[in-house]
């Protein structure tokens, strides 16, 4: 991008550098298929779908009076670290061993592109999401887990079958949904029952 003599451009240039860097998550591919099964989705698509869905479903959050600005920012940037760290498949136990370390380094580099004040805010947001202890982190975490379950139900378990994922594995992996939304967790257990009955989840 062009430089300028205007002092505020330095600030703007840093903001643009971040906006330009995160374009890369449009090429980070997840295991989840689009609902029409035409391709695997990427992190930008997933983050967008989460952000819309958290507004549509917010009545089901366990905690009322969520800070929705914080929640939506969290959803929008929660996967930015995968630009460096790559997507870690939910059911890949080996890859989860060093996931935390890889993602922490990535957060430092990528949010490090931002200005001091905003960098601190975004690193804190990302860490809060990862820790999953606040009402917003629990709810956004629930939506993050709920989405691929929904995709798998719509595509009749194509990716579950491909990766040998069983009903017990789905329930174990997604149990934290309960901390963010009891309602969504009850729905997931029901969806798993239907998937078993209809034969697309073992």
Question: Which residues of the chain form contacts with a copy of itself (CB under 8 A)?
Answer: 1-2, 4, 12, 15-16, 18-20, 22-24, 26-27, 34-36, 38, 41-42, 44-45, 47-49, 51-53, 55-57, 60, 68-69, 72-73, 76-77, 114, 118, 150-151, 153-154, 183, 187, 190-191, 194
Shortest distance (Å) from residue 164 CB to a copy of itself: 23
Pick from 128, 118, 163, 140: which is nearest to 12 by CA? 118
The DSSP string of 109-175 is HHHTTS-HHHHHHHHHHHHHHHHT-SHHHHHHHHHHHHHHHHHHHHTTTHHHHHTT--HHHHHHHHT
CB 112 within 8 A of CB 54: no
Q: Is 46 or 138 the residue whose CB approaches a copy of itself more closely?
A: 46
Give dist(CA 106, CA 39) in Å, integer.
26
Report in angstroms how near the CB of residue 98 gets to a copy of itself at its nearest: 27
**CB-nearer residue toward a copy of itself: 173 or 196:** 196
Find the shortest distance in angstroms from Cβ 169 to a copy of itself.
Answer: 20
Nearer to a copy of itself, 51 or 169 (CB): 51
Rounded CA gap, 130 and 166, in Å?
Answer: 25
CB 102, min distance to a copy of itself, A: 22
Q: How far is the CB of 188 from a copy of itself (least distance, A)?
A: 11
Backbone φ and ψ of 118, nearest 5°: -75, -35
């Amino acid at each position: 991008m062009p430089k300028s003599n205007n002092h505020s451009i330095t600030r703007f240039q840093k903001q643009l550098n971040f906006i330009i860097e995160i374009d890369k998550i449009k090429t980070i591919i997840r295991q989840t298929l689009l609902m029409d099964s035409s391709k695997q989705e990427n992190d930008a698509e997933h983050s967008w779908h989460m952000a819309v869905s958290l507004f549509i479903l917010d009545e089901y959050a366990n905690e009322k009076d969520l800070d929705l600005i914080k929640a939506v920012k969290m959803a929008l940037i929660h996967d930015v670290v995968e630009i460096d760290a790559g997507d870690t498949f939910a059911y890949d136990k080996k890859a989860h061993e060093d996931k935390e370390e890889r993602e922490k380094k990535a957060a430092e580099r990528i949010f490090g592109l931002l200005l001091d004040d905003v960098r601190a805010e975004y690193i804190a947001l990302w860490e809060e999401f990862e820790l999953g202890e606040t009402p917003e982190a629990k709810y956004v975490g629930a939506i993050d887990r709920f989405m691929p379950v929904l995709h798998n139900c719509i595509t009749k378990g194509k990716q579950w079958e491909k990766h040998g994922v069983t009903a017990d594995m789905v329930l174990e992996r997604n149990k934290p949904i309960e901390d963010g939304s009891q309602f969504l967790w009850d729905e997931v257990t029901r969806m798993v029952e239907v998937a078993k009955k209809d034969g697309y989840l073992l």
